[in-house]
Amino acid sequence: MRSLNGKVAWVTGAGTGIGAAGAKALAAAGMHVVLSGRRAAPLEEIAETIGAAASVEALDVSDKSAVFEVARRIIERHKRVDVLVNSAGINVKSRNWHNVTLEDWERVIRIDLDGAFYCTKAVLPTMIEQGDGLIVNISSWAGRYVSVVTGPGYTAAKHAMNAMNESLNMEHGIHGIRACAICPGEVATPILDNRPVPVSDEDKAKMVQSEDCGDVIRFVAELPPHVCINELVISPTWNRGYIAQARTLAP
Q: Domains of the chain by range and CATH?
A: 8-248 (3.40.50.720)
State whether residue 118 is helix, strand or coil.
helix
Cα dist from 155 to 18, 92, 106, 112, 151, whole Å? 18, 12, 13, 10, 6
Q: What is the mean pLDDT of the chain?
A: 95
Q: pTM (2 decimals)? A: 0.94
pLDDT at 247: 74
Order across the sheet with 54-56: list the strands: 54-56, 32-35, 8-11, 83-86, 133-138, 177-184, 231-234
pLDDT at 195: 80
d(CA 218, CA 120): 19
- Does residue 33 contact residue 50 with C-beta atoms inside 8 Å? yes
Phi, psi for residue 101 in degrees, rounded to 5: -90, 160
d(CA 128, CA 107): 30
pLDDT at 30: 98
Torsion of CA 223, 224, 230, 231, to 10 degrees: -10
Report the chain (251 residues): mean pLDDT per 10 consecutive residues: 97 98 98 98 98 98 98 98 98 96 98 98 98 98 94 98 98 98 93 82 93 98 98 94 76 64
Active-site annotation holds for 154: yes
d(CA 156, CA 182): 16
State whether residue 151 is helix, strand or coil.
helix
- Does residue 85 contact residue 19 with C-beta atoms inside 8 Å? yes
The catalytically annotated residue of 118, 145, 154, 242 is 154
pLDDT at 250: 61
